[in-house]
Amino acid sequence: MSNLNDLVSVIIPCYNDHEYIHEAINSINNQTHKNVEIIIVDDGSDIKTKNILKAITQENLTILYQENLGTSAARNNGINHAKGDYILTLDADDYFDPVFISKALNYISIDKKIGIISCWIKIFNDKGIVEMSKIPGGDLETLILFNSASGNYLFRKKCWFDAGGYDEKMKKGYEDWEFNISVAKAGWKTVIIEEYLFNYRKKNQSRNSQANKFHKYELYKYIYIKHKDLWNTYHELMIENLFSQMQALELGSHNLRKTIDYKLGKGILTPYRFIKRVLLFYKK
């Protein structure tokens, strides 16, 4: 069982999240495990967010200010100032259920090789819950293929030292996935609590959505090159996964052509394409 005296340092990077920061803070204040310190790292936010942060008065809460250097740098900054042996990362627009820290500490106390504790995720937007995600967790063999542990979780501070911190070059996203791989390479286990205890806010313009939309393969490539030593051990698995993704993309493209929307769009455009061909013919 966990020790009630275990200090957990909660690191909350904040960039223009004035609308949600209080909800994130309250989710920590409402934890059943009370021995926590909260470190908010303002990552070059606008004046409105800064004014809201300056108005917060709480004994166990510290606010650090830095220029806009990205989530990795903000987390590293906060962890460098952390007093606890356990770190909880939390984005400023998300929140945990009240029992998460207590349950995470109970799990992590069972095995000294457990480094990261995450949980299943409730994904929500302004209209309510839109998805329930059962992230699988797992070992290095799983983590090299996809991010199976999310980026908001509890871990031993020693994991952060062993992994070399968060990669501050990864400003466009997926820094949590790269961190998880580095932690696993250092010999630590990642365990998932099979309960929906984390609440992830889905926004149209979130950094994660931008990463998936515009930078996905660029970030994949960076991670694979950085950890190219894993090819020696897992090259067959990684190649198999690559071909599976290619097959899925091809199948998705094939299925798209069968959809009503695709056929309707094609039907609408057909007369215009015919006119274009006629005009091109007479231009010759």
| 90-115 pLDDT tens trace | 999 999 999 999 999 999 999 999 99
Whole-number pLDDT of residue 201: 96
**Is residue 84 predicted with pLDDT exceeding 90?**
yes
**Is residue 242 predicted with pLDDT exceeding 50?**
yes
Question: Are residues 86 and 105 in contact, defined by beta-carbon separation less than 8 angstroms?
Answer: yes
- Which has more confidence, 224 or 152? 152
In angstroms, the CA 150 to CA 22 distance is 22
In angstroms, the CA 175 to CA 171 distance is 8
Whole-number pLDDT of residue 146: 74
Judge whether 259 lies within some domain.
Answer: no
Longest dimension (CA), the chain: 84
Judge whether 139 lies within some domain.
Answer: yes
Domain count of the chain? Answer: 1
- Which has more confidence, 133 or 269? 133
Judge whether 157 lies within some domain.
Answer: yes
Angle formed at CA 35 by CA 29 and CA 37, multiple of 5 degrees: 65
In angstroms, the CA 284 to CA 266 distance is 26
* Choice among 32-41, 155-164, 229-238, 261-270 with the minimum mean pLDDT: 261-270
Whole-number pLDDT of residue 220: 86
Judge whether 121 lies within some domain.
Answer: yes
Whole-number pLDDT of residue 162: 98
Question: Are residues 136 and 122 in contact, defined by beta-carbon separation less than 8 angstroms?
Answer: no
In angstroms, the CA 241 to CA 224 distance is 13
Give the whole-number percent of the chain exceeding pLDDT 70. Answer: 80
Altogether, the residues listed in the chain come to a count of 284
Place of tokens 């409730």: 122
- Quick one: average pLDDT of 195-221? 76
CA dihedral 15, 27, 121, 188 (to 10 degrees): 80
In angstroms, the CA 21 to CA 15 distance is 10
111-163 pLDDT per residue, tens = 999 999 999 999 999 999 999 999 888 778 888 877 777 889 999 999 999 99
Closest CA to 13 of 60, 70, 52, 58: 70
Residue 191 confidence class, pLDDT cut points 50, 70, 90: very high
pLDDT, mean over the chain: 86
- Which has more confidence, 71 or 224? 71
* Choice among 31-45, 168-182, 242-256 with the minimum mean pLDDT: 242-256
Judge whether 78 lies within some domain.
Answer: yes
Whole-number pLDDT of residue 26: 98
Whole-number pLDDT of residue 203: 82
Judge whether 218 lies within some domain.
Answer: no
Residue 254 confidence class, pLDDT cut points 50, 70, 90: low
* Choice among 49-53, 89-93, 115-119, 251-255 with the minimum mean pLDDT: 251-255
Domain that holds residue 28: 8-203
* pTM for the whole structure: 0.82
Domain of 167, CATH number, reads 3.90.550.10
**Is residue 172 predicted with pLDDT exceeding 60?**
yes
In angstroms, the CA 72 to CA 179 distance is 10
Judge whether 18 lies within some domain.
Answer: yes
In angstroms, the CA 135 to CA 265 distance is 36
In angstroms, the CA 159 to CA 165 distance is 8
**Is residue 255 predicted with pLDDT exceeding 90?**
no
Rounded to 5 degrees, φ, ψ at 55 are -85, -10
**Is residue 3 predicted with pLDDT exceeding 80?**
no
Judge whether 68 lies within some domain.
Answer: yes
